[in-house]
């Protein structure tokens, strides 16, 4: 009986949705990881830079990208474009987080992205994640 249950458990583990957060502020990044692990069934990964996110997606295909707009060497929209240019990642939804994203709203809308203004309430984050994944 245990042998039959084990593959099912492994299958459930492999189908768990992964959210890749790209946030260069370590405090916000840790908060996001903690919130997702406590409030959702999803697995959260954190990349502290756009370059690191591009490395991660070579090994893991996330179900959702949550991208800070203001990153060190590239902004979240440039990162989104680079991620979506990669084969197999074209249809992955994304959320852009930023304190000043209203000035970039046209670019965000052109890409059909959800915009989450900082500071945000955890419930707003969770609602945005549910919308993006559905």
Query: Percentage helix, strand, coil, to 5, in the chain?
Result: 50, 20, 35
The hierarchical CATH code for the domain 17-133 is 3.40.50.2300
Which residue matches tokens 């709203």?
105
pLDDT class of 98 with cuts at 50, 70, 90: confident
What span, in angstroms and rounded, lies between the C-alpha atoms of 52 and 131?
Answer: 26
What is the pLDDT at residue 16?
84
- Of 2-6, 27-31, 48-52, 91-95, the poorest mean pLDDT is in 2-6
What is this structure's pTM?
0.85
Q: How far apart are CA 19 and CA 45, in angstroms?
A: 6
3 pLDDT exceeds 70? Answer: no
Residue 14 has pLDDT above 70, yes or no: no
Give domain limits for the chain: 17-133
Is the predicted pLDDT of residue 96 greater than 50, yes or no? Answer: yes
Question: What is the CB-side half-sphere exposure of residue 134 using CA atoms within 13 A?
Answer: 6
Residue 30 pLDDT exceeds 90: yes
Which two three-digit tokens encode residue 57? 């997606």
Give the C-alpha separation, 21 to 105, whole Å. 20
pLDDT-above-90 percentage for the chain:
66
Tell me the HSE value of 34 on the side-chain side, using a 13 A CA sphere: 7
Residue 2 burial (C-beta neighbours within 10 Å; 0-12, 13-18, 19+): exposed
3-state secondary structure of 115: strand
């Amino acid at each position: 009986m245990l042998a039959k249950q084990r593959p099912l458990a492994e299958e459930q583990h492999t189908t768990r949705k992964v959210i890749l957060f790209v946030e260069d502020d370590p405090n916000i990044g840790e908060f996001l990881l903690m919130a997702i692990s406590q409030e959702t069934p999803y697995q959260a990964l954190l990349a502290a830079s756009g370059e690191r996110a591009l490395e991660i997606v070579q090994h893991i295909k996330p179900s959702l990208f949550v991208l800070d707009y203001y990153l060190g060497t590239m902004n979240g929209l440039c990162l989104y474009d680079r991620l979506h240019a990669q084969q197999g990642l074209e249809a992955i939804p994304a959320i852009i987080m930023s304190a000043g994203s209203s000035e970039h709203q046209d670019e965000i809308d052109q890409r059909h992205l959800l915009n989450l203004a900082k500071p945000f309430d955890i419930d707003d984050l969770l609602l945005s994640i549910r919308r993006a994944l559905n």
